[in-house]
Amino acid sequence: SIPRGYRPCEKSYRLLDRRSVLHDNHELNWMRSENWSDLQILTRGHVNQSIMKRRMLIVGAGAIGSLVTEQLMRSGCRHLNLIDGDDLSVGNLVRHTLSLSDVGMPKVSQLATRLNQVSPHAHVSGIVDFFPPKREEHAQIIKSCDVIFDCTGSDTVLHNLYDFAWLGIKVFISLSINLGAQRLYCFIA
């Protein structure tokens, strides 16, 4: 509250600070701080600004999907949506970015939570469902995405991606690995 004799305006606030806090006999308590701006966090490298602004959909939050999502987010992409209906099992841990504490939980929920904790600028959300989603609100989120990554290695998902009622022009990227992880397959359209 403002003491008697001071008006509630910027000039009065400055005068009050000068008399009570910023006078020569008062010691300032300095605090350590860090710059958490997006530019500071990304000083060691990021993708092009036009890519950063795109809304991304990652279909499949398994081995490839978890790695792709993490690298996209850490390289500056901020609007990432994940869709996967599976829970994390112990057998997934050998190739997944999640940990033991996430076993038995939905992959997309746990992955979104973890990645949102990596950067204060991240907007990672998860849809616990298989593609195509059953709920219309989820379909609308998916239709708003500009770039679609298929990280499932599933022919059924590829057919469903083809049949889905997309809005506008999209970039499609399909990534999969063969049995034994000896080859990486990549298709972009």
Return the amino acid letter for 44.
R
Cα distance between residue 15 and residue 177, in whole Å: 67
Q: And the tokens for 60? A: 């499949």
pLDDT at 1: 67
Return the amino acid letter for 12.
S
pLDDT at 122: 87
Per-residue pLDDT in tens (0 to 9) along the chain, 189 residues: 677 878 888 888 888 888 777 777 777 788 898 888 877 788 777 888 888 889 999 999 999 999 999 999 989 898 999 999 999 999 999 889 999 999 999 999 999 999 999 888 889 999 999 999 999 999 999 999 999 999 998 999 999 999 999 999 999 999 998 888 889 899 999
Q: What is the DSSP letter of 117?
A: H
pLDDT at 119: 85
pLDDT at 187: 93
In angstroms, what CA-CA distances link 38 with 75, 78, 111, 115, 183?
11, 10, 21, 15, 35
Please name which of 176, 175, 150, 145 lies closest in space to residue 161, comparing C-alpha atoms: 150
- Report the predicted TM-score, pTM, of the whole model to 2 decimal places: 0.79
Please name which of 50, 53, 62 lies closest in space to residue 150, comparing C-alpha atoms: 62
DSSP string, 132-155: SPSSHHHHHHHHT-SEEEE-S--H
